[in-house]
Amino acid sequence: WGTLHNNLKKINTAIFFSGRGSNMESLIKATKNQNFPASIPVVITNNKSAPGIQLAKNHFIPVEILDKNKFNRSEFESNSQKILLDYKIEMICLAGFMQILSKKFVYSWQNRIINIHPSYLPKNKGLYPQKQVIDEKASYTGCSVHFVNEKIDDGKIILQEKVKVMHNDNVQTLSDRILEKEHIIYPRALKKIALEILEIKN
């Protein structure tokens, strides 16, 4: 007759990352709450030098390293598919994953891959969005969590948050303020989508 919590189903979620891993860590921390509807049994990186590797290890999460110098995109993807199957993964979060996924991969995970981008999409897609914002002298930017489709930073938006640009902002100060918001909205977005998947399954 254990507590209700023991029966809570969770969506097995993998994270793909390439670098610092701060968004990955914010997701890992959120999933530690017993009521959070997703868990993270494995993370995958394409960069053997990614600082995020140590972060994941600190949380005792297995890290699969498919280094970009050893595995081309198609090898990365076929090896990832095996890992995802092994861990019974149902959903993928991209968190600073600096490699474009093939159409084939994206279609095989349709509506099951989400990404975070540091701009108020559809504004400022692609690389260095914070610099784009400073150069444009825009008055606000933000961050967005969206579904991944075959185009870059393009799929349906799940959650987004605005961040005001201050007159004395530089790329660094602006990026730091956006990142704080990223760490808040990414776990919220994962929760929302995981709950929706659980709903469909029941």
Catalytic sites, residue numbers: 117
Supply the minimum distance, in Å, between the C-beta of residue 198 and ligand GRF: 25
In the bound state with ligand GRF, the residue whose beta carbon lies nearer, of 82 and 164, is 164
Q: Who's near 32: CB < 8 A, 6+ residues apart? A: none
In the bound state with ligand GRF, the residue whose beta carbon lies nearer, of 118 and 187, is 118
Residue nearest to ligand GRF (CB): 96
Supply the minimum distance, in Å, between the C-beta of residue 130 and ligand GRF: 8
Supply the minimum distance, in Å, between the C-beta of residue 174 and ligand GRF: 11
- At 40, phi and psi to the nearest 5? -120, 90
In the bound state with ligand GRF, the residue whose beta carbon lies nearer, of 1 and 19, is 19
In the bound state with ligand GRF, the residue whose beta carbon lies nearer, of 8 and 152, is 152
- Tokens representing 40 are 């993270």
Supply the minimum distance, in Å, between the C-beta of residue 98 and ligand GRF: 8
Instruction: List, as one string, the DSSP characters of 142-190.
Output: EEEEEE--SSTT-S-EEEEEEEEPPTT--HHHHHHHHHHHHHHHHHHHH
- Summarize as ranges the residues that interact with ligand GRF (CB under 6 A): 17, 19-24, 52, 95-96, 116-118, 179, 182
Residue 45, SS3? strand
- Tokens representing 52 are 């995020």
Q: Is the dihedral of CA 18, 21, 24, 28 positive or negative?
A: positive
